[in-house]
Amino acid sequence: MKANRQPHPATIAAQGLGWTDGATGAVVLPIQPATTFIRDPDNQYRRGRNYGRADNPGYDQPEALITALEGGAASIVLASGMAAATTVFRALPLGAHIVAPLVMYHSLRRWIASWAAEGYIAADFVDMTSLDALRDAVIPGRTRLVWVETPANPLWSVTEIAGAAAIAHKAGALIAVDSTTASPVLTRPIEHGADIVMHSATKYLNGHSDVIAGSLTTARDDEFWQKLVAGRGSGGAILGNLETYLLMRGMRTLHLRVERACRSAQLVAEAMTRHPNIAQVLYPGLPDHSNHAVAARQMQGGFGGMLSIRVKGGEEAAIATAARVEIWKRATSLGGVESLMEHRASIEGPGSPVPTDLLRLSVGIEDPQDLIDDLDQALGG
Ligand SMILES: Cc1ncc(COP(=O)(O)O)c(C=O)c1O
């Protein structure tokens, strides 16, 4: 009997959209390493591909899957999350005004600031949890892009995408959302009015800490989107064949991993609120997080696998706690199967707005009690 409804996204992801290899019937598509494609005798390229930089057949399935999961019109995969983000900024007209969050993924914030310092764009950084602050910052007719990250590194502040989209669109700007930490399992920004969704696919989409990749998804296949597609092809920030294959494999378990990470992160966050050596737990799933209400409306199925803890005793105590963990791995990055802990201010370096007593935790898929017990022994007290 045929199902008379669309399969759940978890089904679509697990089966990679149900694609099989036409030549062999294989349920996994082969890696196609060709860099060039045969031209027809009459000088045409009827099969639609000519050179591997722009036309990699391996991209078709992961791009179609990301598009389906995000509810978009089209997607592209790129060499990294940074490549994806910078492709968007590079496609803006010279001198365009953009608004980005004050607190966000630090490498991108620095890149935007330096791109602005070189005169390519004009950038304002605002508290993106305040729609009033965003409204004050946009310049109607001049602002071309509002950049949102939600939940945002490393305080896990949540921006109301629908409100931000309305402000951006009224000013004549596009809104792009870095949805890396939510993943399409928890938030589909296009449904809330976003024009572009960006992922560091290095994180939850791949999920195994073994691929650097990025993706962009568009709500509409329009002129700006075609600039982004051309920006990847001619800019050359393409994803390698093995990485593309691994990303596709990783995405098949996306829902399992994200659901588990969310459940465990909630348990870890709740346990940490009771710990005597913790000054504050930052997790949007906690009722006392300043953006909990927005998160509860906007995120579905959980509040993500990322949280931060502020350790009593300041920087020294935070670094000493990180030194004592045995199950958590002391490493940067997020969204992998293994749980990671990092002293965030150390990785961001001088000028970081991050409190020096803050440890950023990426909750993986291990047994949650093991994670809590390890934190307890590392925190002491
Ligand atoms: C929220 C967010 N956006 C973008 C990036 C950059 O992605 P990548 O490292 O894949 O270039 C990261 C990386 O940590 C991130 O956490």
Q: What is the DSSP string of 316-346?
A: HHHHHHHHH-SSSEE-S--SSSS-EEEEHHH
Q: Which atom of ligand 1 is nearest to the CA of 201?
A: 10
pLDDT digits (tens, 9 = 90+) for 281-312: 999 999 999 999 999 999 999 999 999 999 99
Residue 131 pLDDT > 70 = yes
pLDDT reported for residue 2 = 61
Cα→Cα distances 157→67, 151, 325, Å: 26, 5, 26
For 339, phi then psi, to 5°, come to: -75, 135
Q: Is 99 helix (H, G, I), strand (E, B) or coil?
A: strand
pLDDT reported for residue 3 = 59
Q: Is 78:216 a contact under the CB 8 Å cutoff?
A: yes
Looking at 59, 105, 204, 245, which residue is catalytic?
A: 105
Run of H or E including 230: helix 223-235
Residue 1 pLDDT > 50 = no
Instruction: Tell me, yes or no, if 178 is annotated catalytic.
Output: yes
CA of 303 relative to ligand 1 center, distance in Å? 19
What's the first-to-final CA gap in the chain, in angstroms? 60
Tell me what the pLDDT averaged over the chain comes to.
97
Average pLDDT, integer, range 16-26: 97
CA of 200 relative to ligand 1 center, distance in Å? 5
Looking at 178, 195, 357, 374, which residue is catalytic?
A: 178
